[in-house]
């Protein structure tokens, strides 16, 4: 049975880059954001779910993400309705991934809102990526995100300090080298515990 390692962290903390480092170490990675992107594609089940709620968000048989974002910004209650419709589909996608990789010693579940949705309880361990707040802000704004959008996203995420307090492993991502070293340490600790 696989050791399920959850990976999470706030926006701009380096989670995607860190997930790639785990993948480079041979760890199967399930990416929640990528699953949603897939499910929003033409002919996918989330398209039907979103179409039932917001038909104006569908274009060429797929979810138009910028349009959906506008709907969410205009109606704060929209996000909860979207999540209620899409989360079960994402959970099915995750279950298929776990079944496909059931013989892998370790699998990584890359989930931005891992603690917020309670998925940490389904994991055998949780790693949190973290940088100081000023580095996080600089990274996010450098991507072209506005200050207002950055603040809105932060308001929906558990504070970094709380995530770190609940984590089994903390991965500092101030540099690629520090993140890479921490990834190797996390994997060594998990493998050591499994062998013990």
Q: What is the predicted pLDDT for the residue at 107?
A: 98
Beta bridge partners of 6: 109, 126
Torsion of CA 123, 126, 9, 29, to 10 degrees: -60
Q: Are 125 and 5 contacting, i.e. CB atoms less than 8 angstroms apart? A: yes
Q: Is pLDDT at 120 greater than 80 in this prediction? A: yes
% of the chain at pLDDT higher than 70: 98
Q: Is pLDDT at 148 greater than 90 in this prediction? A: no
> What residue spans define the domains of the chain?
1-28+106-191, 32-100
| Residue 163: pLDDT band with limits 50, 70, 90 | very high
Residues 91-101: tens digit of each pLDDT = 999 999 999 99
Q: Is pLDDT at 152 greater than 90 in this prediction? A: no
| Residue 183: pLDDT band with limits 50, 70, 90 | very high
Q: Is pLDDT at 182 greater than 90 in this prediction? A: yes
Q: What is the predicted pLDDT for the residue at 25?
A: 97
Q: What is the predicted pLDDT for the residue at 162?
A: 95
Q: What is the predicted pLDDT for the residue at 196?
A: 62
| Residue 76: pLDDT band with limits 50, 70, 90 | confident
Q: Tokens for 88?
A: 């079960």
| End-to-end Cα distance, the chain | 15
Superfamily of domain covering 1-28+106-191:
P-loop containing nucleotide triphosphate hydrolases (3.40.50.300)
For 107-115, what is the mean pLDDT? 95
Q: What is the predicted pLDDT for the residue at 103?
A: 95
Long-range contacts of residues 76-83, Cβ cutoff 8 Å, at least 24 apart: 78/53, 78/54, 81/53, 82/50, 82/53, 82/54
Q: Are 115 and 163 contacting, i.e. CB atoms less than 8 angstroms apart? A: yes
For 9-38, what is the mean pLDDT? 96
Q: What is the predicted pLDDT for the residue at 69?
A: 87
pTM of the full predicted structure? 0.89
- Mean pLDDT of all residues belonging to the chain: 93
Q: In angstroms, rounded to a whole number, what is the distance separating the alpha carbons of residues 15 and 21?
A: 10
């Amino acid at each position: 049975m696989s050791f399920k390692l959850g990976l999470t962290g706030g926006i701009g903390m380096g989670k995607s880059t860190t997930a790639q480092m785990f993948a480079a170490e041979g760890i199967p990675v399930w990416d929640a954001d990528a699953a949603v992107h897939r499910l929003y594609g033409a002919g996918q089940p989330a398209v039907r779910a979103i179409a039932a709620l917001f038909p104006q968000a569908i274009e060429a048989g797929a979810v138009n993400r910028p349009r959906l974002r506008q709907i969410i910004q205009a109606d704060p209650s929209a996000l909860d309705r979207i999540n209620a419709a899409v989360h079960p589909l994402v959970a099915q996608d995750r279950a298929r991934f776990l079944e496909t990789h059931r013989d892998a010693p370790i699998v990584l579940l890359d989930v931005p809102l891992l603690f917020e949705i309670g998925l940490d309880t389904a994991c055998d361990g949780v790693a949190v990526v973290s940088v100081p707040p000023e580095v996080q802000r600089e990274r996010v704004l450098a991507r072209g995100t506005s200050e207002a959008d950055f603040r809105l996203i932060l308001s929906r995420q558990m504070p970094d300090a709380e995530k770190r307090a609940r984590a089994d492993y903390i991965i500092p991502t101030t540099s690629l080298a520090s993140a890479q070293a921490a990834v190797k340490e996390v994997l060594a600790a998990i493998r050591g515990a499994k062998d013990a």
